[in-house]
Amino acid sequence: MSMNTFNWKVAGLSGEGIMVSGLIFSKTSSRHGFYIFDYTEYPSIITGGHNTYQVHAGIEPVYAQKEKLDLLLAMNANALVEHLDELTSNSLVIFDSSDDKINIAEFNLPCKSLDLPMVKLAKEMGATRLMGNNVGLGASAYLLGLDLEILNSVIHDIFARKGQEVVDLNHKAAKAGYEFARNAKAAGQLGNWDFAAFEKQEYPESRVTFTGNEAVALGSVAGGLKLFAAYPMTPSSSVLHYLAAHEDKAGIVVKHAEDEISAINMALGASFTGVRSMTSTSGGGFAYMTEALGLSGVSELPLVVFESMRPGPALGMPTWTAQGDLQFVVTASQDEFPRFVFAPGDAQEAFEMAKLSQELAEKYQGLVILLSDKYLSESRYTAELAVTKLSHERHGFNQNPVSDETGFYPRYKIDKENAISMRSVPGQQGGEHINNSYEHDEYGLATEESQMRISQMDKRKRKLKLMKSEIPQQFYSGSLEDEITFISFGSTKGPLLEAQRQLAANGKKVGVLNLTWLSPFPIEQVSKVIKESKRVVVVEGNQCGQLANLITQETGIKLEENYRRYDGRPFYAEEIIKFINK
Amino acid sequence: MSVKAKPAYPFKPTWCTGCGNFGIWGAIKMGIGALGVPKENVVMVYDVGCSGNMADFNDHYGFHALHGRALPVAAGIKLGNQDLKVLVIMGDGGCYGEGGTHFINLMRGNHDVTLLIHNNNRYSLTTGQMSPTTRKGTKTKSTPVGSIEEPFNPIAIAASNNAGFIAREFAADIPKLSARITEAMNYDGFAMIDILQPCPVYNPAMSYEWYRENVISLESEGHQSNSREAAWKQAMRADKLATGLFYKEDKPSYHAQVKNLQQSSLTKQPISDIDISSLAVEFK
């Protein structure tokens, strides 16, 4: 057990309130002013699978899930079987022998346990079986030194829409669990087990916790998103769910289209009228959308595509994580055109980059792909929303377009000094032009003429130079003294930072360079860090080393050492440390 | 290398002699003209096909979509700016084949767009292969021993799938077609006109003469356009191809049922003053 953190997990049957119980415990932790990282696992079936929700909390920032548990709330016997390996002699297990006929001696636990009659206590007070989960939360709160009042405030906020009676019953259940645990401990039932509870911290006004997908959705709204069209696909669907549920408050229009092809083409249609638009999907749906990416490219229409990766090929493993679509999204299209590809590393970056994506798509009149994965999309992170009031200027709109002697407006005017030509939108007199899927001339009319083809290709490519000027410093936490420099992209940032911290505690210095800009690529910084590093290890969630290959392609530097996984599971700091100590 | 002089804008049609598109094109211009709407407020969305090549022959704002995808683009344009009139030009291949799912699903939403299907029973741009409306047994380049599939019946589908405005007209009857286009564009919702279009090159059997012998006007039959059952019955008849207004029903369009579009179009909603503080509350 490391100082001033706890690692708590609830596990049980999916469909039995595991997710909401986990969320309540996470919010309770956050409202104590703790940083949190929540990780969930669930199978791709309707009901009856094993479901877990893990909260890693601490008074210093926490970056990822941890393997070893301080407290396991096992809602059934299977939860004990599944997570036995995650227990140490310092752990504690809460279970309910009366509910799932558990004979705890059979499990040979390495640690103490508390037999908590969650269902019985709930039913005694007239509550339902599922409300028994709150008995478990109450006991967890006592044992980890959390404030029952704060737990109750979260229970209130979560269940308020179900009425005061439900809130009251859940409060009673939480209190019963809290008191049962207190009495059990006082009676010596937990033996010498103890948890060194830590103090409540300041809870800043700007503090939030959200999942990567919620961060993307809110960041997009903050960035001026107006039209969102999508087709559900795990693990991207919660972006659609969030935006649909908040359509009114966000002042946007959300369309669940009949398929991904329709979704992306609707977004492009709306973009043609001048509104900021977006679609979202996972790898399979992104494959459907590929043809329309080229349409955004050739007709210079702003578009943001959110792609949350899961293992493939084809349908792969829907509810698990992967980074195997990198190579695909960087080049997906017929022929060539410049694009932005961003892979935020945590929810804070997801919020900021989703906001930025709306801006840059309009500014550069083209495609932005925002890349996530199940791990970032559905894990919950602590973040700060410092700014909640935003004002955006518009880019590239000609307020008074004038058609020339052709009767058309030169929307795609060739100007070697200005790569970005001014748009007109339908409804503007004098702005008539064609937004064309085919190669086109300056007015958008189709052409197969050699010189015009070259001119328009070159015009689009000229934007790349300006796009490169936007590249910020990539996240780099390290120094020349580091024994190892890890290079990663996207969500792998968290486990690497966690590994860095654990290694530092043991006197081993390692650095982390996490890339969020994959196109255009931060060539200078990456080259410099590699050249100055003693030993570089590329860590990524795919089989063939797509990031390592991209680095070689962009910098000419070949990297030999790597740590990869492609089993659908996220990286764990403990395993990264094991790998480098090999 | 000599520099070519700029061609005259818009470009001149490149359709084959005798193509049904000439008549439809004329009817479209007349039909739009009769609307009395400023030129810049009419957006034409074109699919890929001989008909879609019209993108370069008109002087309105245009969007030449990917093959089969004109309808979602059109729906997106209308969701972005509902003050525009949106006219969609598709062929039978793009609308009933490649983009069939959009045809079926967007009509259910009553998106306020007008859809013209230039139906010549062939993929003529790609030199005459079978299309969804090709009659069973027809020999084409892709079905040299005769097509096996039964033909798609767009009117019957639309009648049973909640379309609000369903019509069919003949390409050569320009006055009737242009009046129908105006009527369709004035309709607040999804309006489709399946247009019988001769293709003398790849479908010579269904010539202008053939159509004149095989069409019958609904008006002459005393058809009532307020009954889906009657529309479906006319769509299913085997003896003749009925033309005219099969069905029309007044009902709210898609955008009229979207709360955030009640006051104004999205294009008129500024992004200079965004406040997400109320949205952030649930993440506390």
What pLDDT, on the 0 to 100 scale, is given for residue A1?
Answer: 41
**Residue type for position B91:** G
Minimum distance, in Å, between the CA of residue B148 and any CA atom of chain A: 28
Task: For residue B269, give the nearest of A226, A257, A444 by CB distance.
Answer: A226
* Cβ separation A251–B260 shorter than 8 A: yes
C-alpha to C-alpha distance for A97 and A77, rounded to whole angstroms: 9
B261 touches chain A (CB under 8 A): yes
What pLDDT, on the 0 to 100 scale, is given for residue B6?
Answer: 64
For residue B85, the surrounding DSSP H or E stretch is strand B85-91
* Cβ separation A273–B259 shorter than 8 A: no
B268 touches chain A (CB under 8 A): no
C-alpha to C-alpha distance for A264 and A368, rounded to whole angstroms: 13
Mean pLDDT of the A539-546 span: 98
A257 neighbourhood in chain B, CB within 8 Å: 72
Q: What tokens does A302 get?
A: 């702003």
- From the CB of residue B243, how many other CB atoms can be counted at a distance below 10 Å? 26
Q: What is the pLDDT of residues A230-246, one digit of tens each?
A: 999 999 999 999 999 99
B39 touches chain A (CB under 8 A): yes
Question: For residues B180-217, b (16+ Cβ closer than 10 Å) or e, as one string?
Answer: bbbbbbebebbbbbbbbbbbebbbeebeeeebeeebbe
> Distances from the Cα of B138 to the Cαs of A52, B128, B209, in angstroms?
59, 11, 19
DSSP string, A32-68: TT-EEEEEEE--SSSSSSEEEEEEEEESS---S--SS
Q: Which of residues 170-209 of B touch A (CB under 8 A)?
A: none
What pLDDT, on the 0 to 100 scale, is given for residue A100?
Answer: 84
* Cβ separation B80–A226 shorter than 8 A: yes
Mean pLDDT of the A2-14 span: 90
Instruction: Say if residue A48's pLDDT is above 80.
Output: no
Task: For residue B274, give the nearest of A31, A224, A437 by CB distance.
Answer: A224
Residue identified by tokens 């529309």 is B231
Residue identified by tokens 């636990």 is A109
B64 touches chain A (CB under 8 A): yes
* Cβ separation B79–A255 shorter than 8 A: yes
A273 neighbourhood in chain B, CB within 8 Å: 77, 80-81, 84, 265-267
Half-sphere exposure of A180 (CA within 13 A, CB side): 25
Strands (E), A97-188: 112-115
B237 touches chain A (CB under 8 A): no
Minimum distance, in Å, between the CA of residue B156 and any CA atom of chain A: 21
* Cβ separation B72–A408 shorter than 8 A: no
Q: What is the pTM of this model?
A: 0.97
B278 neighbourhood in chain A, CB within 8 Å: 249
**Residue type for position A457:** M
CB pairs under 8 A between A and B: 219
Q: What tokens does B246 get?
A: 């099969």
Half-sphere exposure of B5 (CA within 13 A, CB side): 3
Portion of chain A with pLDDT greater than 70, in percent: 99
Average pLDDT over chain B, rounded to an integer: 96
Nearest to B94, CA basis, from B114, B57, B122, B127: B122
C-alpha to C-alpha distance for B59 and A409, rounded to whole angstroms: 10
Backbone angles phi, psi at B226, to 5 degrees: -105, 10
Q: Which residue of B has its CA nearest to A158?
A: B282
C-alpha to C-alpha distance for A229 and A276, rounded to whole angstroms: 12
Mean pLDDT of the A361-366 span: 98
* Cβ separation A259–B40 shorter than 8 A: no
Q: What is the pLDDT of residues A455-507, one digit of tens each?
A: 999 999 999 999 999 999 999 999 999 999 999 999 999 999 999 999 999 99
Mean pLDDT of the B120-145 span: 96
List, in order, residues 6 or more apart from B233 with CB less than 8 Å away. Answer: none
